[in-house]
Structure 1
């Protein structure tokens, strides 16, 4: 047996099985479960005999073309030998195909009588067979997610999933990152506000046979990215009777303060003095007054480029006087997901020590119905003086974004402006629920974001800014109309982007319409029901590679 290798722990230390969802009293700012790197393998790890591990997870891949036998991967034959069990035969009997996202738990029997000694005596009594598909990053994220869901409620799981047959960097590091990211993302559950909860905590994950510095760095990066996604989900899933603009602003202030970042909050008085006519109009019908929040990260080594991320922050959307159907209102607590993404991105950029200055701008308002509600036909004067004719009060997101983008352009001097918003149902009609609609005025920025989307699995599709559709935002009584009245043009996501483009000046600009992937009706792989957190990992990946 080889000497014991000290375990390398990532994240905050805590006892195995302790809940990962303690966080603050509000349920925001929770941390994913702990991941431990362990140099010993499934052959010689003492962890498998000390009683601290509840399950061992091993990997299987699909049969080769022309063959009908599942392919074992690193750790699976070794586990079979140590347990004295034909794991390949078990996998076949269970009907596994090796596809990414499959997981089957084998519950090993315990002996009856002291004279019976089974081959697996003293070893964890659960073996989880996990499909890894083609072992691409997407497949390994799905494998990690399946492992998380199949082991929820256990204390600690030791896994060979994603282990390579050779310790080649970056292959081993990339594989570990994908598995860990999938595991941490799928470990998330929506905070419960019930008086009691039987939610099962996610298990601590031990990666066997992996403790190289490059792997540790990759796992730490996965944890930063997953933590950002958890924050977006927590914020967006918080009920709107708790979460109003003031609450969001205070959460941003606290989280930024804890990270040592610069924070500025504009309240109703400052917004009125500054001429933020869009934010004020959208928030006028609610008893909860609007806010504008700025959070800034500046690296000590030099500012690099300055990227400003603006996120739509409608903490609840009734549609205003253009009121939504009841069913359409149910998920509207997540209509501030863009603001949550912007906040999580700047916090993660600081944690990852991104070499660029990053600023998040959060325009926050509640679109309600009240005596002071703005109306279709009103003309608003937005920040900087542009006048806008209102055609539909349920298209409020582009109004608050326009104010924030114009303010960022005029006062923050960004090199790149990016906005993120659950903006249009039209984007979901064209692209479904898995792709965001991506628009941009700078080819390099668009290319970089698309590459980041592919790497992270937060997919986006480059959409055109069709100049012929500009007539949709023309008005006879104001500088712009924010929603087309003539339905013959169509392209609702495109016309929304064309409207926003008017407020970014000459800046390099990209717009992510996340109305589709920002919410999910059910758990699937690393995506969780409700707010998905889409966008935080994509933007963080892009920022870390930005020249």
Structure 2
């Protein structure tokens, strides 16, 4: 008998670097790419820590990286020509309750990220606001969650002037989707925990409107609704994991197109709650739909914490690149907790200042506020956008995530895949899981 008789046909040795969670996640991603096209991949349960908790944490990192890197972008040709999927991952090692919980957490987190990728990568020829609203309704209903969809009539009747203005130039009418998860009370007692409302920018395609974008800048704009996808995926995943806090996702959905009814630079809009907004650039549409949803959340939903997530400004990409999202907030504890969640998940954030001296940049002489800077000498486009959004949260604790840099990728790298990255779902899920 030859010495290699009975051995696997292929052995892949994957280094784990310094053994950190990040290194183990990247090792799992490398394994996924190295074994693509195989039927089964078997690996030892990697662990560099001591005790079951450390072992479970390490295995979770490997599995999460494997699942994330296994993602394949949806293709119109997939039905006729199936793509090569991931190998089935088999873990060798001890089992136990902590390991089972870690594997479930890894699976739920990775599937949430992949849902965001699927939604954001869907071409806008398919994905209009009505399509996203329908997908959200079906997914929420299947999960047993409460869901409400407002169409153009309801939006007009209730005064959602930002969403309606942004969507006015498109034949595809806007929507506002609300999905709510409430944890089950224990032993018949009251539901404990906090109420976290997550608002996600949902521009299903962005031409820039009358302030039209260059052609090259339009190409990735099918992913401009990534924030809404993150909000939806997070509330669904929170329900699957049974987190101890109420979570509500708000998805303001519109297509920013060019048409006879398009809103114009120089217009004054009235958003939810009555605030008037002077328009200077129709390509800054995301903050208008967010203003409506944030004001609605403050007035109607009584959140303990408001979080918005949006592919909002090119300025944040210039400042932070594609490895960190910009993080703004009025609640220091929430900011610190999100930084910690970012380190844990690899979806890193960088705290940014709300510079009060820059607030004059969004001052208007003809409305309550101007939605983009009136002073080119101030610059700081991501900061001034955050200052604009802050006006609509009332006195609520609030956090803003600008994911314009992290929400898209031009190539596969580690657990990140080309196109929509799904950034934000694992970050927010981890935050909700850790929230005391």
Tell me if both proteins adopt one fold, taking TM over 0.5 as the criterion.
Answer: yes
Question: Which residue number in structure 2 is paired with residue 437 of structure 1?
Answer: 326
Of the three residues 267, 272, 276, the one matched with 2:156 is: 272
**Contact conserved, 1:521 with 1:529, CA < 8 A, in 2?**
yes
Q: Does 1:293 align with 2:182?
A: no
Q: How does 1:460-471 map to 2 (within 5 A)?
A: 460-471=349-360
In the alignment, the residues of structure 1 paired with residue 381 and residue 260 of structure 2 have an alpha-carbon distance, to the nearest angstrom, of 29
In the alignment, the residues of structure 2 paired with residue 188 and residue 543 of structure 1 have an alpha-carbon distance, to the nearest angstrom, of 24
Shift of residue 118, structure 1, vs aligned partner: 1.7
Of the three residues 51, 62, 74, the one matched with 1:191 is: 74
Of the three residues 164, 167, 172, the one matched with 2:55 is: 172
Instruction: Say which structure, 1 or 2, has more relative contact order (CA 8 Å, 6+ apart).
Output: 2
Shift of residue 197, structure 1, vs aligned partner: 2.1
* 1:169 partner SS: helix
Q: Residue by residue, what CA displacement relative to the aligned partner does 1:344-365 show, whole Å, maximum 9, x if unpaired?
A: 0000000000000000000000
Q: How does 1:96-175 map to 2 (within 5 A)?
A: 117-160=1-44, 162-164=46-48, 168-175=51-58
Q: Which runs of 4+ in 1 moved over 6 A?
A: none
**Contact conserved, 2:354 with 2:387, CA < 8 A, in 1?**
yes
Shift of residue 160, structure 1, vs aligned partner: 1.5
In the alignment, the residues of structure 1 paired with residue 19 and residue 145 of structure 2 have an alpha-carbon distance, to the nearest angstrom, of 39
Shift of residue 119, structure 1, vs aligned partner: 1.4
Of the three residues 165, 183, 189, the one matched with 1:281 is: 165
- Scaled by the length of structure 1, the TM-score of the pair is 0.78
Q: Does 1:410 align with 2:299?
A: yes
Matched residue count: 430
Question: Which residue number in structure 2 is paired with residue 310 of structure 1?
Answer: 199
Q: Does 1:388 align with 2:272?
A: no
In the alignment, the residues of structure 2 paired with residue 530 and residue 230 of structure 1 have an alpha-carbon distance, to the nearest angstrom, of 12
- Scaled by the length of structure 2, the TM-score of the pair is 0.97
Question: Which residue number in structure 1 is paired with residue 371 of structure 2?
Answer: 482
CA RMSD of aligned residues (A): 1.0
Of the three residues 234, 245, 248, the one matched with 2:118 is: 234
Shift of residue 198, structure 1, vs aligned partner: 4.7
**Contact conserved, 1:282 with 1:396, CA < 8 A, in 2?**
yes
Question: Which residue number in structure 2 is paired with residue 248 of structure 1?
Answer: 132
Shift of residue 169, structure 1, vs aligned partner: 2.1
Show structure 1 runs of 5+ residues with no match.
1-116
Question: Which residue number in structure 2 is paired with residue 210 of structure 1?
Answer: 94
Question: Which residue number in structure 1 is paired with residue 188 of structure 2?
Answer: none
**Contact conserved, 1:230 with 1:533, CA < 8 A, in 2?**
yes
**Contact conserved, 2:363 with 2:374, CA < 8 A, in 1?**
no
In the alignment, the residues of structure 2 paired with residue 500 and residue 244 of structure 1 have an alpha-carbon distance, to the nearest angstrom, of 25
**Contact conserved, 1:163 with 1:209, CA < 8 A, in 2?**
no
